[in-house]
Structure 1
Amino acid sequence: MVHEDFTLKGRTIVVTRPRNQAEETMRLIIEKGGNPYLLPTIEIKSSGLSSDIKKFADALAKGEVDYVIFMSVNGVEHLLKAAENLGLGNQLKRNLEKVRIVAVGPKTAKALEEHQIRVNLIPPDYTSDSVIECLRQQGVSGKAIWIPRTKQASSNMAEKLHALGSAVHEVYVYESHLPADPKLATQFLQDLSGGQLHAIIF
Structure 2
Amino acid sequence: MSARVAVFRPDDERIETARSLLRDLGVDPVADPMLAVEPTGATPRDAEYVVFTSKTGAELVAEAGWDSGDATVVAIGPRTAQALESAGYAVDLLPEEYSSTGLVDLLSDRAAGASVEVARSDHGSAVLLDGLRDAGASVHETVLYRLTRPDDAGESAAIAAEGDLDAACFTSSLTVEHFLDAAAERGVRDAAIRGLNEAVVGVIGEPTRETAESLGIDVDVVPAEATFEALARETVARLRETQ
In structure 2, stretches of 5+ residues that fail to align are: 171-243
Deviation digits for residues 7-65 of structure 1 (CA, Å, limit 9, x no counterpart): xx72222111112222222111222343221111222211234xxx3x72xx3xxxxx2
Aligned residues: 169
Q: Which residue of structure 1 lines up, in the alignment, with residue 145 of structure 2?
A: 174
Q: Which residue of structure 2 lines up, in the alignment, with residue 30 of structure 1?
A: 23
One-letter amino acid matched to 1:80:
A
Alpha-carbon offset, residue 198 of structure 1: 2.2
Q: Which residue of structure 2 lines up, in the alignment, with residue 5 of structure 1?
A: none
Q: Secondary structure at the match of 1:171?
A: strand
Deviation digits for residues 80-104 of structure 1 (CA, Å, limit 9, x no counterpart): 33x2xxxxx1xx2xx4263211111
Cα distance change, pair 125–196 in 1 and its aligned pair in 2 (3 A): same
Tell me which structure has the larger Cα radius of gyration. Answer: 1
Q: Secondary structure at the match of 1:96?
A: coil
Asked whether the 8 Å contact 2:6–2:156 carries over to 1, the reply is: no
Computed over aligned residues only, the root mean square deviation of the Cα atoms, in angstroms, reads 2.2
Give, in whole Å, the separation in 2 of the partners of 1:177 and 1:171: 17
- Choose between structure 1 and 2 for higher RCO, CA contacts under 8 A separated by at least 6 residues: 1
TM-score, with structure 2 as normaliser: 0.62
2:11 is aligned with 1:10: no
In structure 1, stretches of 5+ residues that fail to align are: 1-8, 60-64, 84-88
Alpha-carbon offset, residue 148 of structure 1: 0.8
2:156 to 184, 188, 194: 188
> Structure 2 matches for 1:154-169, cutoff 5 A?
154-169=125-140
2:124 to 140, 153, 163: 153
Identity level (%): 28
1:108 to 80, 88, 98: 80
Q: Which residue of structure 2 lines up, in the alignment, with residue 3 of structure 1?
A: none
Q: Secondary structure at the match of 1:120?
A: coil
Alpha-carbon offset, residue 163 of structure 1: 2.9
Alpha-carbon offset, residue 106 of structure 1: 1.4
Alpha-carbon offset, residue 193 of structure 1: 4.1
Q: Which residue of structure 2 lines up, in the alignment, with residue 130 of structure 1?
A: 102
Cα distance change, pair 113–194 in 1 and its aligned pair in 2 (3 A): same
